[in-house]
Amino acid sequence: MTSIVCKNLSKKYDKDNLALDKVNLSLNMHGIFSLIGRNGAGKTTLFRVLSTTLLSTSGSAVIDGVNVLDGAREIRERIAVVPQEARPVAWMTPKETITSYLMWRGFTYTESVKRAVDALKLLGISKFSNVLNQRLSGGTKRKVLVATVIASDADIIFLDEPTTGLDPISRGELWDLLLKLKKTHFIFLTTHYLEEAEALADKIGILEDGKLLALGSLQELRKRMGFPHSIKILGKTKKISIKVGRTVKGRDGYTQIFTTEQEARRIGELLIKTKTKFSTNPVSLEDIFYYFVKKDVNEEEKNDEPEYW
């Protein structure tokens, strides 16, 4: 089990820019915690404060009882990190990159080489072992960094958007690897791919404008949203009143209703009667994300009022 506790954690880069706004986070878990949020939401800022590369302005962050401020050295020995913008050193090869990192962490040369070879194999990039990093594609460079942390003995792994820039097959392979790895490690993962968080994460945090809007497993988030059913209506339809729920207009013209099971049934029957095309599903993480983020934008909106379209 790994515990991460943030209390009123704030980070101000300059006087108008509050990147983290009193974040209260409490995790005590195995597996993967995924932080999702729009560009500029503060994910990397929180990631960097926790992985001890950035000082917070106020509040506290504690990992397994160790405060990131006074225990940074101790925490660094336990974590391995792939930052968002990191690239492996251009004039080294993947094998040298991993070997040197492991030796720096205290492994012997022989053990480091063995672990490097194994990790490169695990990531499916053995054939690039001795090619200079500068000659690798963007996705392969990301994989070299992921291989580096996987080869380490760290039981806490921080990955800031590890699958950005990976092709769909490589992304799937990395997912498989993370699913295996999460049995023995705690992984703090940020991503823009909501289906990735849905597939991998045991707990998900939604960050918006430096604030943690919601935290929980997918099931818990569905419950918190209060409307576990989604109805998507394609094309135009007559005005219909919704007793319980909330509507969202999609960019490509569809209308989506989030509502309760009972109300979904009632609306469904109505739509069948009026021969309207629609689909109905349990809400996805994407639905939940839009729900919480848009709700925050339109705080004055009342959910219990009937809505029309």
- Residue among 125 and 197 whose Cβ is closer to ligand ATP: 197
Q: How far is the CB of 38 from ligand ATP (least distance, A)?
A: 7
Question: Which parts of this chain interact with ligand ATP (CB under 6 A)?
Answer: 13, 17, 19, 37, 39-45, 84
- Residue among 207 and 215 whose Cβ is closer to Mg ion: 207
276's contact among ligand ATP, Mg ion, none, with CB below 5 to 8 A by partner kind, is none
Taking alpha carbons only, the member of 4, 190, 211 closest to residue 84 is 190
Q: Is 174 helix (H, G, I), strand (E, B) or coil?
A: helix
Q: How far is the CB of 70 from ligand ATP (least distance, A)?
A: 23
Residues 88-117 that bind Mg ion (CB under 5 A): none
How far, in Å, CA of 269 to CA of 78, rounded? Answer: 56
Residues 25-44 that bind Mg ion (CB under 5 A): 43-44
- Residue among 57 and 60 whose Cβ is closer to ligand ATP: 57
Q: Residues 29, 38, 66, 84: which binds Mg ion (CB under 5 A)?
A: 84
Two tokens, residue 123: 């990531």
Q: Is 303 helix (H, G, I), strand (E, B) or coil?
A: coil
From 79-87, 139-147, 202-210, 230-238, give the range in contact with Mg ion by CB under 5 A: 79-87
Q: How far is the CB of 293 from ligand ATP (least distance, A)?
A: 12
How far, in Å, CA of 89 to CA of 136, rounded? Answer: 11
Q: Is 296 exposed, middle or buried (0-12, 13-18, 19+ CB in 10 A)?
A: middle
- DSSP result, 16-60: TEEEEEEEEEEEEESEEEEEE--TTSSHHHHHHHHTTSS--SEEE
Binding site for Mg ion (CB under 5 A): 43-44, 84
